[in-house]
Chains A and B, each alone.
Chain A
């Protein structure tokens, strides 16, 4: 292994290259990442071979090409984010339904409208039911480690895996990573032996139409496979630890949850900031901890319940919003806790790149400790802006476009730091 200081996207690109992908397809404009840019360079220079890099004409084509490549027995990889993920959705479902072990990085970003290029989890959350395994990285180290695990996991189950890493916050951050050697990755990740393959010598078709006579059974098996993943993910994390000598992946990751009265549940890079806040609050005597959910699909109901059941309250902090109900992750957490008298609060935070600060978390979690949080809280919501707009709507029928109005109310933002 070798320590290096590099951008998250670069680290992931190098890790993907160590996994010996045979086909990489990507649509090379925004919202794309530096990951495929770096991989493209590696393929061109001959550093990564045998591998074909296919510049496709859209994200829909990217996933379609990945499906074709995977069905032909090639280890296939792509990356996307935001609207790019939405544009490939039909093919995303097909990749899962066909059981093709494609690995895709989602550099988590918001989806429009309003147009927003910044980080939150709306994009991959919109695909939570698509049948892909979804793993969330806390750091760039974990992001690169999860890609190595994703290929093995996906290929073992014949299921596609999405590795979700916070766009910008991780993808554009320079930090220290421990880059594995080719020997280590080869020891962990065997060559791809597909369960199904398009082979001219033994022709099969993949993708039959299935009517009411068996559709439920096919769907049931998709669910059963994800349940198998619940077993496999911790096993793989343990084997990963043996070869790479560090903890990465797994289903959930508790931090200072022993004897905690309040446990925060979150996904992704915000866990780091929350851990700092937990340490500071612990030093003041607050009994608080945080549970990171690494595997969001499959959702580890039992592991989440185990980790939370001794607490007195749970705060689910999520970077996505299910409009019309509130939390997405919290709905799943509540299911994990069903039957337990454990109040669970939803906090929507960090939407569209709004910074989640320690100061705001301190305030929020102190309120939580006092049982003063509402069912649903929007962190750092600017109430005045909301009131002003609601008043405008009340006062005139033709109140105008929402986003434009709000921006006018906010004024110049270029002078602000955060």
Chain B
């Protein structure tokens, strides 16, 4: 079973992000379960949502406490919430920002972890560009598809279409595609640097 935890703030589409991730995984033939952290949702308040992906029925109903992957929709949470709590040593981390881990002051998180599983992507900017609003959830799923390979971009697009329609769906798919390309490019560059070293 693969467990994902998404952190963000109320209004950023954290819960929808987890739901779309579950749809994408389902469309690829998996079992998936998505659920929110059940707080009283308020705009701007820290929100957590979870997604489990497995090849068999998922019965477990506890929150995800040892995630295999973290998607952080709002980097201002990094020093406010224990977002990295329980993260698996070889886990994936995707943060919505144009800055690096070091610049965010969380360089130590990378220590002892697999560098190719840690990535940042300016998802809000991509969303603003393609959707017209800084809602980063779909873009992050595109980035997550590139980072983890757990889902593919086509499934993300199909999941977006289940949630949204028309221009909003088109925009979110464009943002997800841009984020996918961005993360893939970044990972290729990192691989080149690693080879050169």
* Chain A residues engaging chain B, CB cutoff 8 angstroms: 4-5, 7, 117-119, 139, 168-169, 172-176, 269-273, 275-276, 353, 355-358, 414-418
The total of interchain contacts (Cβ-Cβ below 8 angstroms) comes to 86
Contact indicator B85/A417 (Cβ below 8 Å): yes
Binds A, one of B60-68, B90-98, B164-172: B60-68
Q: Which A-B residue pairs are the 6 nearest by beta carbons?
A: A272-B59, A5-B26, A418-B63, A174-B34, A173-B35, A168-B38
Q: Bound state CA distance, A418 and B26, in angstroms?
A: 26
Query: Which of chain A's residues has its CB closest to B59's CB?
Result: A272
In the complex, chain B residues whose CB is within 8 Å of the CB of A5: 22-23, 26-27, 32
Q: Bound state CA distance, A353 and B61, in angstroms?
A: 12
Query: Which of chain A's residues has its CB closest to B159's CB?
Result: A5
Contact indicator B38/A176 (Cβ below 8 Å): no
Beyond the given A174-B34, A176-B32, could you list 20 further A-B residue pairs with CB under 8 A, ordered by the A residue number? A5-B22, A119-B38, A168-B36, A169-B38, A172-B38, A173-B35, A174-B23, A174-B32, A175-B34, A271-B59, A273-B59, A275-B59, A276-B59, A355-B63, A357-B63, A415-B80, A415-B81, A417-B63, A418-B62, A418-B65
Q: Bound state CA distance, A416 and B23, in angstroms?
A: 27
CB distance from B78 to the nearest CB of A (A): 12
In the complex, chain B residues whose CB is within 8 Å of the CB of A175: 22, 31-34, 58
- 15 A-B interface contacts by CB (under 8 A): A5-B26, A168-B36, A169-B35, A172-B38, A174-B19, A174-B22, A174-B34, A175-B33, A175-B34, A271-B59, A272-B59, A276-B59, A356-B61, A414-B81, A417-B65
Contact indicator B32/A417 (Cβ below 8 Å): no
Query: Which of chain A's residues has its CB closest to B34's CB?
Result: A174
User: Which of B23, B35, B45, B86 counts the most A-chain CB atoms under 10 A from its CB?
Assistant: B35
* Chain B residues engaging chain A, CB cutoff 8 angstroms: 5, 18-19, 22-23, 26-27, 31-38, 40, 45-46, 48, 58-63, 65, 80-82, 85-86
Q: Bound state CA distance, A356 and B37, in angstroms?
A: 13
Contact indicator A173/B60 (Cβ below 8 Å): no
In the complex, chain B residues whose CB is within 8 Å of the CB of A4: 26
Contact indicator B19/A7 (Cβ below 8 Å): yes
CB distance from B65 to the nearest CB of A (A): 6
Query: Which of chain B's residues has its CB closest to A7's CB?
Result: B19
Contact indicator A417/B33 (Cβ below 8 Å): no
CB distance from B100 to the nearest CB of A (A): 24
Q: Bound state CA distance, A118 and B63, in angstroms?
A: 14
In the complex, chain B residues whose CB is within 8 Å of the CB of A416: 82
Q: Bound state CA distance, A417 and B37, in angstroms?
A: 8
Contact indicator B35/A172 (Cβ below 8 Å): yes
Q: Bound state CA distance, A355 and B46, in angstroms?
A: 18
CB distance from B102 to the nearest CB of A (A): 23
Contact indicator A358/B62 (Cβ below 8 Å): yes
Query: Which of chain B's residues has its CB closest to A414's CB?
Result: B46
Q: Bound state CA distance, A415 and B37, in angstroms?
A: 12
In the complex, chain B residues whose CB is within 8 Å of the CB of A358: 60, 62
Query: Which of chain B's residues has its CB closest to A357's CB?
Result: B62
CB distance from A347 to the nearest CB of B (A): 16
Q: Bound state CA distance, A355 and B5, in angstroms?
A: 16
Query: Which of chain A's residues has its CB closest to B33's CB?
Result: A175
Contact indicator A272/B61 (Cβ below 8 Å): yes
Q: Bound state CA distance, A305 and B58, in angstroms?
A: 29
User: A7-B19, A175-B22, A415-B81 given as contacts; is B60 within 8 A of A272 (CB)?
Assistant: yes
In the complex, chain A residues whose CB is within 8 Å of the CB of B80: 414-415
CB distance from A342 to the nearest CB of B (A): 27
Q: Bound state CA distance, A356 and B61, in angstroms?
A: 8
Q: Bound state CA distance, A276 and B23, in angstroms?
A: 23
In the complex, chain A residues whose CB is within 8 Å of the CB of B40: 117
Contact indicator A355/B82 (Cβ below 8 Å): no
CB distance from B197 to the nearest CB of A (A): 36
User: A7-B19, A174-B23 given as contacts; is B62 within 8 A of A273 (CB)?
Assistant: yes
User: A169-B35, A174-B32, A275-B59 given as contacts; is B26 within 8 A of A417 (CB)?
Assistant: no
In the complex, chain B residues whose CB is within 8 Å of the CB of A169: 35, 38, 61
In the complex, chain A residues whose CB is within 8 Å of the CB of B5: 417
CB distance from A382 to the nearest CB of B (A): 18
CB distance from A417 to the nearest CB of B (A): 6
Q: Bound state CA distance, A190 and B96, in angstroms?
A: 53
Q: Bound state CA distance, A168 and B15, in angstroms?
A: 12
Contact indicator B26/A176 (Cβ below 8 Å): yes
Q: Bound state CA distance, A175 and B31, in angstroms?
A: 8
Q: Bound state CA distance, A233 and B19, in angstroms?
A: 34
Query: Which of chain B's residues has its CB closest to A30's CB?
Result: B40
Contact indicator B60/A276 (Cβ below 8 Å): yes
In the complex, chain B residues whose CB is within 8 Å of the CB of A139: 59
In the complex, chain A residues whose CB is within 8 Å of the CB of B48: 417
Contact indicator B63/A168 (Cβ below 8 Å): no
In the complex, chain B residues whose CB is within 8 Å of the CB of A273: 59-62
Q: Bound state CA distance, A7 and B18, in angstroms?
A: 12
